[in-house]
Amino acid sequence: MILVSACLVGRFCRYDGRRALSRELMFDLVHQSWAAVCPEQLGGLATPRVRARLVGGDGADVLDGLARVVDLDGRDVTEAFVRGAEVVLQLARRLSIEVCCLKDRSPSCGLTPTPEKDGTLRGRGVCAALLVRNGIKVIEIKAAADSNRL
């Protein structure tokens, strides 16, 4: 069984109400057992929602209480991001998950640091950091946002 970011399999759960469908991933999952998760929704955030970013560090720093997740309106949404990551980890443990395919460039699911337009670096997301910290392999999937909306 594989856990997959819900937006990658066509669910309209991104912050902007869109999806990030990966047809390549869907093809790879045809003969696999998988379950879709959206850490941000599981943490209690609505869709659509105000875009959020990591402030003061990456997802591992958020888990350690050294950084925060703040939306573009200035609202601290750290608690929801951590809660969602913890729910995903509980599901992964319950389902004996060893591999997760998560969406790149996400404050929840992103794995590798990527540069922002303003020159700052977007680091590992909160959920990705928690899964890696607990020995679960995370594969980062790149997919463009689909223009379809809720």
Model pLDDT, residue 123:
78
113 pLDDT tier (thresholds 50, 70, 90) = confident
- The continuous run of DSSP H or E covering 100 comes out as strand 99-103
Going by C-alpha positions, the residue among 48, 70, 76, 69 that lies closest to residue 127 is 69
Handedness of CA 139, 140, 144, 146 (dihedral sign): positive
| Domain total in the chain | 1
> What average pLDDT does the segment 26-33 reach?
94
Residue 33 has pLDDT above 70, yes or no: yes
Mean pLDDT for 33-54 is 96
This model's pTM is above 0.85: yes
Q: Is 62 helix (H, G, I), strand (E, B) or coil?
A: helix
Q: Do the domain assignments include residue 114?
A: yes
In a domain, 57, yes or no: yes
148 domain-assigned: no
Q: How confident is the model at residue 149 (pLDDT cuts 50, 70, 90)?
A: low
For residue 89, the enclosing domain spans 2-141
Residue 137 lies in a domain: yes
For residue 40, the SS3 value is helix
Is 17 among the domain residues? yes
C-alpha to C-alpha distance for 150 and 27, rounded to whole angstroms: 24
